Amino acid sequence: MSKVFIHDQLIRFAHCDPAAIVYFPRFFDLAHSTMEDWFADGVGIPLAELIRERRIGTPTVKINCDFVKPLRMGDTLRFELRVSKLGNASVNMDYRGTKDGIEHLQIKQTLVFMNLDSAKATPIPNDVRKRIEKFLIAPDKAS
Amino acid sequence: MSKVFIHDQLIRFAHCDPAAIVYFPRFFDLAHSTMEDWFADGVGIPLAELIRERRIGTPTVKINCDFVKPLRMGDTLRFELRVSKLGNASVNMDYRGTKDGIEHLQIKQTLVFMNLDSAKATPIPNDVRKRIEKFLIAPDKAS
Amino acid sequence: MSKVFIHDQLIRFAHCDPAAIVYFPRFFDLAHSTMEDWFADGVGIPLAELIRERRIGTPTVKINCDFVKPLRMGDTLRFELRVSKLGNASVNMDYRGTKDGIEHLQIKQTLVFMNLDSAKATPIPNDVRKRIEKFLIAPDKAS
Amino acid sequence: MSKVFIHDQLIRFAHCDPAAIVYFPRFFDLAHSTMEDWFADGVGIPLAELIRERRIGTPTVKINCDFVKPLRMGDTLRFELRVSKLGNASVNMDYRGTKDGIEHLQIKQTLVFMNLDSAKATPIPNDVRKRIEKFLIAPDKAS
C-alpha cells in the first residue's frame, strides 16, 4: 500500500493579489515547499543535503496545473503528495490541493535528478529510489 | 494572418536559484508580465483598466509548462505570445519562450474572464474580443 | 514583564540566490509571516479578521534592517519579536533574527493602522491595543 | 557634477497585495532591478559579469526605507539613484522613488563588495571604483 505525504500550509497575505485570492504563481512556491518537506520528512533525505553533499539537483522539466477553486488569506491549503511514476532519472509527482476536504487545485510535476557539476541527468541513487518507491501509487490507480 | 506579440525580458538576479538558473515559479511571473504588456500594448486595453473600470479579472484556470533548457542571469528571454483558442469567456494563450532564437520553454495557459463582484465567469466584452481575435492563430496551425 | 513572540521559520530553496544565501528582500517576507503569526497567535486577532471584519490594514511606513550574517537553505531562522513603541495609530516592532542563538539580522519596522475605506490612519482599537501592550518593552530597555 | 541614474519601472499586478497597493517587500526587488541596470548601463559593468568573471558579489548589509505614499498597479515608479558614500569595500546608495515627480519612497542601502570564494569583503577594484565615483554626490549635498 503506497504512502501519501500530507502537508498543510497557511495562505498568507503575501500570496494574495489585488482580487484578494492567491496569485497563481505562488501556488508553485507552495508546491515547492511541500516537495522540500517531503524530501526531508517523507523520503528522509533533505534536498539541501542532496544538493550540497551529493551535488544533485532536482529541476522541474514539466508542470501542469488545474486551478479549480480560489484560495484566500487565512485558508489552510492541504497538499496530498503522491508519486505517479518513477523513472531512471525522473519522478512524476501528483499534488492534490484541498481545503476543508474539497479539491481546489491539482498539480502534476516531472522532476529530473541532475548532476550539478555536469548539468546532465543522473540516475536516482538506489538508497533514494527505495525511499521514494514507498510513495509510488499502484499503476492501476494512477490517473 | 494572425499577429504574434513579441516580448523581451531580462533574466535578473532575483529570478535565479542556488543552482544559478531561473527558479521555475518565476517563469510564471515573467509570463504574467508578458500577458499584462500584451493587454496594454497588443490588445490596447490595460489589465488595470479592465479591473478597475469594468470590474473584470482574468484568473488562470489551467497552465501547462515544458521547461526545455535553463536560463541564467543576464539572458534575455523572448516570449512569442499567440492566442490558440477564443471561447465565450475564456482565452487559451500560447507562450513560446526563446533565447537567441532557440526554444527554452513553452507555456499554455487558459484564462477566464471573471466578474469581480459576482466572482463568476462573464462573456468577453465585444470590443475586447475583436482586439484579441487578431492574435488568434488559424485552427489548422494550432498545436 | 513584557512578552516576546518567538517564531521559527525554515530557510527554503526559494529564499536563496545564486550565491546560495538568502536574497535580502525575502527576509521581509519572512518578517511579514512572523507579524501575521504574531497577530493570530500572540495578539489573538488574525490580520485577515482585522482586514475583512474591521476594514483595518497595517501598512509599513518605515523599515530598517541590518544584515549581520548570511543564512542558507536548511537553516532555521528564529525571530524574537518585541514592540518598542505603541503610538495612537502606529506600532514600532523589533525583530531580532538569530540562528543557533547567534544574531544574524535585526529589523525595525513601523506599522500604521489604516482604515481601508478612507485610506487614512485610524487609532488602534482599544481591545487590540490592550493585547499589543503585553509585548511592549519597558522604555528603559528600548534600544 | 555628479551623475544621477534615472530608472523607470511599471508597477505590475504581481507587486500588489489585497489592498491593491504595492506589498512593501516588492519595493526591494524593484530597487535591486534598478541597481542591476545601474551596474550594466550606468557603471558599465554588468553584475552578472562581476559575479561570474571576477567572483565578486555585492550583498546588502544595511537597508533603510521610508514609504511615504502607496503605489498601485499601472503606476510608473521612477528611481533616482545616487551614491552617497564610497568606502574601501562598500557603497552607500540612495534611491529616491517618485511618481509624476512626487516623492513616494526613499531607500538607503549599503552594499559590500565580497569575494565569493572567501566570503570576505574585498576592496572595490579600481576600474569599477572610478566608474562608480561619477555617481558620488558632493559631501555637502549628502543627507
Question: What ipTM was estimated for this complex?
Answer: 0.93
Question: Does D64 lie at the interface with C, CB-CB under 8 angstroms?
Answer: yes
Model confidence at B140, in pLDDT bands (50, 70, 90)? low
Query: The whole model's pTM is what?
Result: 0.95
Residue of A nearest to D14 (CA): A17
Residues of B in contact with D58 (CB under 8 A): none
Q: Write the pLDDT tens digit of every residue in C4-30.
A: 999 999 999 999 998 889 999 999 999
Mean pLDDT of C86-93: 98
Mean pLDDT of C96-119: 96
* Average pLDDT score over chain C: 94
Question: Does B102 lie at the interface with C, CB-CB under 8 angstroms?
Answer: no
pLDDT at A20: 87
Residue of A nearest to B68 (CA): A61
Q: How many CB atoms neighbour CB D108 within 10 A?
A: 17
* Interchain contact, A13 vs D16, CB within 8 Å: no
Q: Which residue has the higher pLDDT, B48 or D78?
A: D78
Q: Which residue has the higher pLDDT, D1 or A63?
A: A63
Q: Write the pLDDT tens digit of every residue in A77-104.
A: 999 999 999 999 999 999 999 999 999 9
Question: Does D25 lie at the interface with A, CB-CB under 8 angstroms?
Answer: yes
* Interchain contact, C59 vs D21, CB within 8 Å: yes
CA–CA separation, B36 vs B42, rounded Å? 9
The alpha-helical segments, DSSP class H, found in chain D are: 25-37, 47-54, 126-133
CA–CA separation, B48 vs B61, rounded Å? 20
Question: Does C13 lie at the interface with B, CB-CB under 8 angstroms?
Answer: yes
DSSP code, position D73:
T
Model confidence at C140, in pLDDT bands (50, 70, 90)? low
CA–CA separation, B51 vs B48, rounded Å? 5
User: Edge-to-edge strands of the sheet including A114-115?
Assistant: A56-57, A114-115, A120-121
Q: Write the pLDDT tens digit of every residue in D4-63.
A: 999 999 999 999 998 889 999 999 999 999 999 999 999 999 999 999 899 999 999 999
Q: Write the pLDDT tens digit of every residue in A1-24.
A: 689 999 999 999 999 998 889 999
User: Is B143's pLDDT higher than 60?
Assistant: no
In a 3-state reduction of DSSP, which class is residue D133? Answer: helix
Q: Which residue has the higher pLDDT, A31 or A143?
A: A31
Residue of B nearest to C14 (CA): B17
Distance from the Cα of C24 to chain D's closest Cα (Å) equals: 7
User: Is B105's pLDDT higher than 70?
Assistant: yes
Distance from the Cα of A61 to chain B's closest Cα (Å) equals: 5
* Average pLDDT score over chain D: 94
Model confidence at B76, in pLDDT bands (50, 70, 90)? very high
Residue of D nearest to C56 (CA): D19
Residues of C in contact with B17 (CB under 8 A): 13-14, 16-18
Return the residue matching grid coordinates 518598542.
Answer: C84
Residue of B51, B55, B62, B63 to mutate for A, most A C-beta atoms under 10 A: B63
Question: Does D23 lie at the interface with A, CB-CB under 8 angstroms?
Answer: yes
Question: Does B29 lie at the interface with C, CB-CB under 8 angstroms?
Answer: no
In a 3-state reduction of DSSP, which class is residue D13? Answer: helix
Burial bucket for residue A11 (CB in 10 Å: 0-12, 13-18, 19+): buried
Residue of D nearest to C64 (CA): D64
CA B104 distance to own-chain centroid: 16
User: Is A142's pLDDT higher than 80?
Assistant: no
| Nearest residue to C29 via CA among C13, C43, C15 | C15
User: Is D1's pLDDT higher than 60?
Assistant: yes
The DSSP-derived string for chain A is: ----EEEEEE--GGGB-TTSBB-THHHHHHHHHHHHHIIIIIISS-HHHHHHHH-EE--EEEEEEEE-S--BTT-EEEEEEEEEEE-SSEEEEEEEEEETTEEEEEEEEEEE-EETTTTEE-PPPHHHHHHHHTTBPPGGG--
| Nearest residue to C106 via CA among C86, C78, C87 | C78
Indicate if the alpha-carbon torsion angle B138, B35, A33, C51 is positive or negative: negative
Mean pLDDT of D122-132: 97
In a 3-state reduction of DSSP, which class is residue C120? Answer: strand
Model confidence at A140, in pLDDT bands (50, 70, 90)? low
Question: Does B57 lie at the interface with A, CB-CB under 8 angstroms?
Answer: yes
- Whether residue D23 contacts residue A13, with contact meaning beta carbons closer than 8 Å, is answered with yes
Residue of C12, C45, C52 to mutate for A, most A C-beta atoms under 10 A: C12
**Touching chains, B (3+ CB pairs < 8 A):** A, C, D
User: Is C141's pLDDT higher than 90?
Assistant: no
Mean pLDDT of C130-141: 86
Q: Write the pLDDT tens digit of every residue in A23-75.
A: 999 999 999 999 999 999 999 999 999 998 999 999 999 999 999 999 999 99
Question: Does D51 lie at the interface with C, CB-CB under 8 angstroms?
Answer: yes
Cell representation of residue C44: 489573538
Helix axes A25-37, B25-37, angle to 10 degrees: 180
Distance from the Cα of A1 to chain B's closest Cα (Å) equals: 30
Cell representation of residue C39: 497577530
In a 3-state reduction of DSSP, which class is residue D48? Answer: helix
Residue of A nearest to B24 (CA): A60
Q: Write the pLDDT tens digit of every residue in B29-56.
A: 999 999 999 999 999 999 999 998 999 9
Span between the terminal Cα atoms of chain B, in Å: 17
Question: Does C73 lie at the interface with B, CB-CB under 8 angstroms?
Answer: yes
